[in-house]
Chain A
Amino acid sequence: MKILELERVESGYGAVAVLRQVSLHVNVGEIVTLIGANGAGKSTLLMTLFGQPRAVGGRILLDGVDITQRATHQLAGLGMALVPEGRRIFPGMTVAENLAMGAVSVPEVAAPEVARVLERVLGLFPILDERAGQRAGTLSGGEQQMLAIGRAMMSRPRVLLLDEPSLGLAPLVIQKIFAVLREIAAEGTTLFLVEQNANQALRLANRGYVLVNGEIRMEGSGEALLADPEVRRAYLGGH
């Protein structure tokens, strides 16, 4: 069963076309990764799912329903959450407030549920509990990334989209974050992971896509892509 599907999606910024006829899908419960060089259009693809920028061609389906023209703010409530490029936490708010913002799409009646998810998030990232009252802008890069992931989890998304969560982090922190992602996936959340860190990502993923200049150039299982000589040369440092 497909949870997310892109059909020949075209997108870009004004006159600048970035995505060309991108088709891909993510099945329920899968971990799918998208790798590609700088400027390939990976972040644009994720943001296009949320209508920022809006797709100018093709269709985006969530649970088989066309969401291409949905208002951005309605999508979180449909079960998608994004950990965006650059984390984009709210720097002037406390850690606790940032997490609360992650749950704005949850209806009032589910408040007890939100409290449970919060406990779960703080269990996965104890540092967020310790820093609950601290301004998020003063957190370290790794802590901010954990906060961005925690915030995205607060809406209990069925599909969690992550844009280079390992960027700029120390190896130990990356290990920690990938461990958490594995755990989230094991609980049944579908993951769509954009990564430069292709090695890690392909090891974690069931399937992967390679984006080149806004086009899907290759697709296959994680192992198949890891073994592919072209992928190795371009994204894995040629070993």
Chain B
Amino acid sequence: MTGHIFAQQAVNGLVLGSVYGLIAVGYTMVYGIIGMINFAHGEIYMIAAYLTAIFLAGLTLLGLQSPPLAILLVLAATIACTALYGWSVERIAYRPLRHANRLAPLISAIGISLILQNYVRLSQGARTQGIPSILDGGFHLFASGPDAFVRLTHAQLLIVVTAIISMFLLHFFIARTAMGRACRAVQQDRVMASLLGVNTDRVIAIVFVLGAGMAAVAGVLVTLNYGSFDFFIGFVAGIKAFTAAVLGGIGSLPGAMLGGVVLGLAESFFSGFVNTDYKDVFAFSLLVLVLIFKPSGLLGVPEVEKV
């Protein structure tokens, strides 16, 4: 019985961690390349949730029946729109401040975050909204009795699998393509990269777009799973993902993924075995502990693949 609860919390934690990881890579990549925390990143996730609902409604109106196709189309459309948001945020709020005092872009980020929240609140309403579930059902794993099983829903499976695929694609892009190499060059020595002919503004824009795209994947998946959202969900998700990024070692791509999974598992086990109300306190305590013993985070060594 305890074995089943344990496994169940592990499954839940892995799902949660995949979501944190997807959002965390956006923080870590932007930090890696311009040394700045993009506080508006959580809002990109929130906007992806709204876009999911809008595109899903649109597809339903058009009479689309097949859930897999609908999910694929919603994912593609949401990533595209959200990437545009990511690009615009960088262009409007950060690029003009590239050579300004370090605090200026931080303030600008908070400003953009408030603007996006209130823009969504005014245009979509402050109520919690929902979408009908299009992904029902799931599996009962390790079933050994009527109450003794581990439940893995289709939505949860989709989250984990999509997260793994997205992370793999991102890793491939950064590690193997010429553009990814340029991203790493800008991260390691921006001036030198530009001396060699890299258009650093373009590379930085691409990093924002990639981060936004990954957050969009998270936004779509979570919305399909939980079905409800409001204009404020970006705040908590953003803080958690930022925690995951710092936990894993900010600036490190594998660190963000690992940090997400560790945080997700920790939260899940804590709420499963100790107390649900204090799970956030536990998550942040974990962060503090890791930072005390390893200030650069779990994988925060300068050598690891960063961007």
Contacts and interface: CB of A to CB of B under 8 A. Distances in A.
A105 B199 CA distance: 10
B189 A72 contact: no
A54 to B, nearest CB: 11
For the complex of A and B, list the 7 residue pairs with the smallest distance between their C-beta atoms, beginning with the closest. Answer: A105-B197, A76-B197, A72-B194, A88-B192, A73-B194, A90-B188, A73-B199
Contacts of A102: 196
Nearest to A137: B303
Interface stretch (B36-44, B177-185, B204-212): B177-185
Contacts of A75: 195, 197
B302 interface: yes
Nearest to A50: B195
B305 interface: yes
B198 interface: yes
Interface string A12-54: 0000000000000000000000000000000000000010100
Nearest to B200: A73
Contacts of B10: none
A90 B197 contact: no
Interface stretch (A93-101, A122-130, A179-187, A213-221): A93-101
Nearest to A98: B185
B193 interface: yes
Given A88-B189, A88-B192, A135-B303, A93 B197 contact: no
Interface in A45-97: 50, 52, 71-77, 81-82, 84, 88, 90-93, 97
Nearest to A80: B195
30 contacts: A50-B195, A52-B195, A72-B194, A73-B194, A73-B197, A75-B195, A75-B197, A76-B195, A81-B196, A84-B192, A84-B195, A88-B192, A90-B189, A90-B192, A92-B184, A92-B188, A92-B304, A92-B305, A93-B188, A97-B181, A100-B178, A100-B181, A101-B181, A104-B178, A104-B182, A105-B196, A137-B303, A151-B196, A155-B196, A155-B197
Given A100-B181, A104-B197, 8 more contacts: A50-B194, A71-B199, A73-B197, A73-B198, A75-B197, A92-B305, A104-B178, A105-B196
A77 B188 contact: no
A52 to B, nearest CB: 6
Contacts of B185: 90, 93, 101
Nearest to A100: B181
B246 to A, nearest CB: 20
Nearest to B187: A92
B181 A82 contact: no
A163 B191 CA distance: 15
Contacts of A52: 191, 194-195
A90 B200 contact: no
A92 B197 contact: no
B240 interface: no
Interface residues of A, number: 27
A75 B181 CA distance: 20
B306 interface: yes
Contacts of B198: 73, 101, 104
Contacts of A100: 178, 181
A149 B199 CA distance: 21
Contacts of A84: 192, 195
Interface in B193-245: 193-200
Contacts of A77: 197
B302 to A, nearest CB: 7
Contacts of B195: 50, 52, 72, 75-76, 82, 84
Contacts of A135: 303
A101 B303 contact: no
Given A93-B181, A97-B181, A76 B196 contact: yes
Interface string B104-141: 00000000000000000000000000000000000000
A92 B306 contact: yes
Contacts of B191: 52, 72, 88
A182 B181 CA distance: 32
Contacts of B192: 84, 88, 90
Contacts of A74: 197
A115 to B, nearest CB: 15
Contacts of B182: 101, 104
A50 B193 CA distance: 12
Contacts of B197: 73-77, 104-105, 155
A73 B199 CA distance: 6
